[in-house]
Structure formats: C-alpha cells, structure tokens
Amino acid sequence: MEALSEAMRAPLFRGIAPEEFAAMLNCIGPRTAQFRRGEMIALEDARMRQIGIVLSGAVDMVKEDFWGNRALLARMGASELFGETFACGEDDRPTATFVAAEDARVLFLPFHKVMRTCARTCAFHQRLIENMVHAIAYRNRELMHKVEVVSKRTLREKILADLSYRAQAAGGRAFEMPLGRVAWAEYLCADRSALTRELVRMRSEGLIDYHRNRFALRWSPDLPPDAPRQGG
C-alpha cells in the first residue's frame, strides 16, 4: 500500500482516479526493486524494455567515455520517470547508464503495456499514454538544456546558464540547487575544484550569493541578494 501511495504522486499517473489506480497496476503488471547508492540500475547498451518511476531516493543518468570520464546527464528524484526516451525508440538500447544516486526504491513498468491499450480497453490507458508523451517531451527539454549549458565556452557561462534556467523554473531568484558540488561538476563537465573556485569568485563579484545548496541570483553587483529590482 505504501508503494501504491508513493506511485500515485508520479506525473505519469496524473488524472487517473484513485479507484482506477489499483486496477491499472494490475493490468500493467509492475514490479518494485531497491538499489543501494552507487548500484547500477541499467547498463549502457543493455535493452531497455521497462521504464522506471523513482519512489524514493534519486537516480542519475550518466555517460562515460572511452577513458572512464563520467558526465551527469540528468538526475531523477522521487516521482520522476526514467528510461522512457530509450524504451520508446526502435533501438531500445540506452546510450547512457542509470545509477542510484542514493538508496532508491523504483517501480518498473513494461513500456509496451503502458503505451498500448489492452483487450479490456481500460479507460485509464488513454490518459496514461497522454501522460507518457508529456513525460518524454519534458525529458527532451531537460536534455536540450544540458546541451545548451555544456556548449558554453567558459565555466562561468555554463554556471550562469544553468543557474538562470533553475531560477526561472523556480519562479524567483532564490532556489535550492538539487545537485551537490560533485554531481554539479559532473553535470557541467567541469572539475569540482574549478567549480568551487569560480563560485567563490562570482560571489565576491556580486553576481550570485549562496549558502550550501541555496542560491540567489543578483540583479546587479550593487544590490544585495534580496533587494527588489526597479520596475518589478
């Protein structure tokens, strides 16, 4: 029952009535699994025929090059979906690896059962398919943002592009960064020490303010972090 209540909060199941939820899961046939921090969930080039919903903890989508250098592509927290962009393609082998960023519980769903109506033509299937399309579009936007960030020429430009995006998503200049320094450096394709040094310089120049993972963008170096901007 606890797993069901956690799964119901996932955007994939938005618009599905609680009384339909148990019947839907019975129709689809999900399974749950637990992973320890650092444990591989899906390996690059393995066939991806299931999608996962993070019930608790977090899952990283990472890419390693020939020499073992690791880049963080995306992090999925509780209620978020992963694996959908690979499972929906003709070639269902992922070009990345999914790893438990911390101890995690995952609900796995067979992708073909999510995307196809069953013989009973259950009413919830159409809503499920629509939600899946929205989830795939959301993940594509997130990956496009990643491309935009890493295409910047300097580390400072990468940091500012990422912080600007997260501030806009949060609806204000102050927000919580979901990534620690190590993971953020991997996301930016940068060295952790270089990231730390650049953040210190940017704060001393009045561009940003931060305490641990709490960040605030400044309108100008002359204004304190919480000062309102003229005209709004």
Please compute the mean of the pLDDT values over residues 208-219 and round it to a whole number. Answer: 92
The stretches of the chain forming alpha helices (DSSP H) are: 2-7, 18-28, 84-87, 111-115, 124-150, 155-170, 181-188, 192-204
pLDDT (tens digit per residue) in 68-126:
888 999 999 999 999 988 887 766 677 889 999 999 999 999 988 888 766 665 677 88
From-to residues of CATH 1.10.10.10 in the chain: 154-217
Residue-level pLDDT at 92: 64
Torsion region of 176: left, alpha or beta (phi above 0 gives left; psi -120 to 50 gives alpha): beta
What is the domain class of 2-149 according to CATH? mainly beta
Q: What is the pLDDT of residue 157?
A: 96
pLDDT of 5 strictly over 80: no
Domain with CATH 2.60.120.10 in the chain: 2-149
- Note the pLDDT of residue 87: 82
DSSP string of 138-183, one letter each residue: HHHHHHHHHHHHHTSSSHHHHHHHHHHHHHHHHTSSEEE-SS-HHH
Query: How far, in Å, CA of 40 to CA of 37, rounded?
Result: 9
* Predicted pLDDT at 48: 79
- For the cut 70, the answer to whether the pLDDT of residue 175 exceeds it is yes
Q: Would you say 61 and 97 are in contact if contact means Cβ atoms under 8 Å apart?
A: yes
Q: How confident is the model at residue 231 (pLDDT cuts 50, 70, 90)?
A: very low
Residue 59, SS3 per DSSP:
strand
What pLDDT is stored for residue 67 in this prediction? 83
pLDDT for res 8: 84
Most confident of 21-35, 59-73, 126-140, 165-179: 165-179
Helix (H, G, I), strand (E, B) or coil at 15: coil
Higher pLDDT, 232 or 212: 212
Give me the pLDDT at residue 227, please: 44
For residue 228, name the pLDDT band (cuts at 50, 70, 90).
very low
Residue 1 has pLDDT above 70, yes or no: no
52-81: average pLDDT:
92
State the chain's mean pLDDT as an integer: 86
Output 57 or 90, whichever has higher pLDDT: 57
Q: What letter would DSSP give residue 42?
A: E
Which pLDDT score is estimated for 94?
A: 74
pLDDT interval class at 127 (50, 70, 90): confident
Q: List the beta bridge partners of residue 61.
A: 74, 98
For domain 154-217, the CATH class is mainly alpha
**pLDDT (0 to 100) of residue 181:** 96
Q: How far apart are CA 89 and CA 108, in angstroms?
A: 18
- pLDDT tens column, 134-161: 998 998 999 999 999 999 999 999 999 9
